[in-house]
Structure 1
Amino acid sequence: MKNKVVFVTGGARGLGAGLAARVVSNGGKAFVVDLNAEAVFEQGELLGGDSIAGCQANVCKPADLELAMAECKERFGRIDVIVANAGILKMGSIEHMNPADFDAVMQVNVHGVFNTIRAGIPYLRETRGYLQIISSLAAAIHTPLMGHYAASKAAVEALADVARQELASDGIDVGCVHPTFTNTAMIQEVNAGVLWGGHKGAFGAVEPEQVIASMYRGIEKRQRKIIAPKTIAPLVLAPGLFHRVAEGLSRLQGSEKALKKFKADEQESVIRP
C-alpha cells in the first residue's frame, strides 16, 4: 500500500475517516470527499502532511465526483483505489415512513455508489486498480424499520457483482464489504440501538476499528467479499437459509418490543397536528 492513492467517499467521519487514517499511517495517500466541507478540512488538519487531501462533494451529483477525482489525480498523479463508502441511515416502518426519507436513502446509498463507480472507471482503468463498495449485513438479513436501508444495501451488492464482471477485462478488481452493525456516529444519531442494543453473538454490534481493519485488508488483498466480523459469513453468503432463524433470534432479543414502541411513536407523530 505504500504510495498507493485511495479515494474515499464519506471520508470525513466514521468508517471512511478511519480507513483514510489507516491508509496514511501505512505510507499511502488518501483523498477524502464528504458533503460536510468543514469535516473534510478537520480530517486534513488531524492527519496533516502531504499524504492527505480532500474536498467537499455530493455523491448524488455526478459532476461533483468527476471534479473531485480530477482534483485527486492532479494532486497525487493517479488513483489506485476507490472506496464507495458514503451512505446514510434512517429508520421507519414501511407503513409510516416519509417517502422523502425513502428517496433520500436511495439517492445517497444507491445513486451515490452508481455515480462513484461511473466517475472512477477511467482512473482505475489507468492503474488496473481496485474498487471497494460498502454494503452491509442488512443486504442479507432484513430487519424491521430498515426497509429503505436494507433495499439500498442489497442494490449496492448487486452493483458490485455486476461491476466486477464488467470491469474484469480492464484489470479492475471489485470488492463488496458487508459489516455487521457498527458503533459509528451514524448508528447513534438515529438511535438504532433501540432495535439492536440487546443483540449478542453474530448480531452484536462491533467497534469501527474492527471493520476498518477488514476494509484495509480487503484493499491490500483486492478481495471480492469482505465480511466483518467473519462470524457473520454464513448469514451473508447463504442468507435465505437463515432468514427464519434470524427473525426468531431478533424477536427473542427484544426487537418485537422495540418495533411496537417505534410504530406507536410513529403513529402518534402522524396523528399529532
Structure 2
Amino acid sequence: MKSKVVFITGGARGLGAGLAARVLIKGGKAFIVDVNADAVFQQVDALGGEAIAGCRANVCNQVELELAMAECKERFGRIDVIVANAGILKMGSIENMNPADFDAVMQVNVNGVFNTIRAGIPYLRETKGYLQVISSLAAAIHTPLMGHYAASKAAVEALADVARQELALDGIDVGCVHPTFTNTAMIKEVNAGVLWGGHKGAFGAVEPEQVIDAMYRGIEKRQRKIIAPKTITPLVLAPGLFHRVAEKLSRMQGSEKALRKFKDDEAKTVIRP
C-alpha cells in the first residue's frame, strides 16, 4: 500500500471512513468523497496529515465524480485504487414502500456505482489499478423489507462481473465485496436491527472492523470476490441452494413476527390516492 492512492466514495463515515484510516496507517494516501461536504472535511481533519484529502461529490452526478477524480490526481499525482462504497439503505415492503424510496436506492446504489466505474476507468488504465465495488450478502440472500436494497446490490455484483471482463485487457482488476449485515450507522439509522438483530451464526451482524479488514486485504491482493465474514461464503457463491434454508432460519429467529409488526405499522402511515 505504500504510496498507493485510494479514491473512496461514501468515505465520510462507516466502512469508507474506516478503510481510509486503514490506508493511511499502511502508508498509502486516501481521497474521500461524500454527498455531505461538512462530513468529508470533518473526516479529513480527524484523520489529519498530508496523505488524506477529499471533496464533496454526489455519485449520482457523473460530472461531479469526474471533477473529484481530477482533483485527486492533481493532489496526489495518480489513482491506483477506486472503491465504489457509497450506498444507502431503506426499509419497506413492496406493497407499501414509497416509490421515491425505491428510486433513491437504485440511483445511489446502482447508478452511483456505474458512474464511479465510468469516471474511474481512465485513471485506473494509467496505473493498471484495482476497482473494488461494495455489494452485499443481500445480493444473494433476499430478505423481506429490502426489495429495493437487494435488487440494487444484485445489480452491483452484475456490474462488477461485467467490468472485470471488459477491463482485464487494460490490466485493471475488479473486486466485489459481499459483507453480511454490519453494525454501521446506516444500519442503525433505519432500525434494521428490529428485523435482524436476533440473528445468530452466518446471519448474525458483524462489527465494521471485520469488513474493513476484508476490504483492505482485497485491495492488497487484488481479489475478485471478498466475503466478510468467510462463514457466509457458501451463501454468496451458491445462493439458490440456500434460499429455503435462509427463509426457515429467519422465521425461527423471529423475523416473521417482526415483519408482521413492521408491515402493520407501515400500513398505518401509507397515504393512498
Q: Do they fold alike, i.e. is TM over 0.5?
A: yes
Match of 2:72 in 1: 72
Structure 2 unpaired stretches of 5+: none
* Cα separation, 1, equivalents of 2:45 and 2:156: 32
Match of 1:187 in 2: 187
Structure 1 unpaired stretches of 5+: none
Taking only the aligned residue pairs, the percentage that are identical comes to 87
Match of 2:6 in 1: 6
1:208 aligns with 2:208: yes
Match of 2:105 in 1: 105
Match of 2:241 in 1: 241
Alignment-mate amino acid for residue 142 of structure 1: H
* Cα separation, 1, equivalents of 2:201 and 2:127: 40
Alignment-mate amino acid for residue 170 of structure 2: D
Alignment-mate amino acid for residue 261 of structure 2: K
Q: RMSD value over aligned CA atoms?
A: 1.0
Residue 270 of structure 1, CA deviation: 1.7
Residue 272 of structure 1, CA deviation: 9.7
Residue 271 of structure 1, CA deviation: 5.6
- Indicate the SS of the match to 2:3: coil
Deviation string for 1:37-72 (max 9, x for gaps)?
011111111111100000000000000000000000
Match of 2:95 in 1: 95
Instruction: Describe the shift of the 1:167–1:271 C-alpha distance in structure 2 as closer, same or farther (beyond 3 A).
Output: closer
* Cα separation, 1, equivalents of 2:271 and 2:13: 36
Match of 2:125 in 1: 125
Matches within 5 A, 1:1-273: 1-270=1-270
* Cα separation, 2, equivalents of 1:270 and 1:190: 17
Deviation string for 1:128-162 (max 9, x for gaps)?
00000000000000000000000000000000000
Could you state the TM-score of these two structures normalised by the residue count of structure 2? 0.99
Residue 183 of structure 1, CA deviation: 0.0
* Cα separation, 2, equivalents of 1:104 and 1:62: 16
- Indicate the SS of the match to 2:270: helix
* Cα separation, 2, equivalents of 1:112 and 1:176: 15
* Cα separation, 2, equivalents of 1:174 and 1:270: 41
* Cα separation, 2, equivalents of 1:271 and 1:121: 44
* Cα separation, 2, equivalents of 1:59 and 1:244: 35
- Indicate the SS of the match to 1:223: coil
Residue 13 of structure 1, CA deviation: 0.1
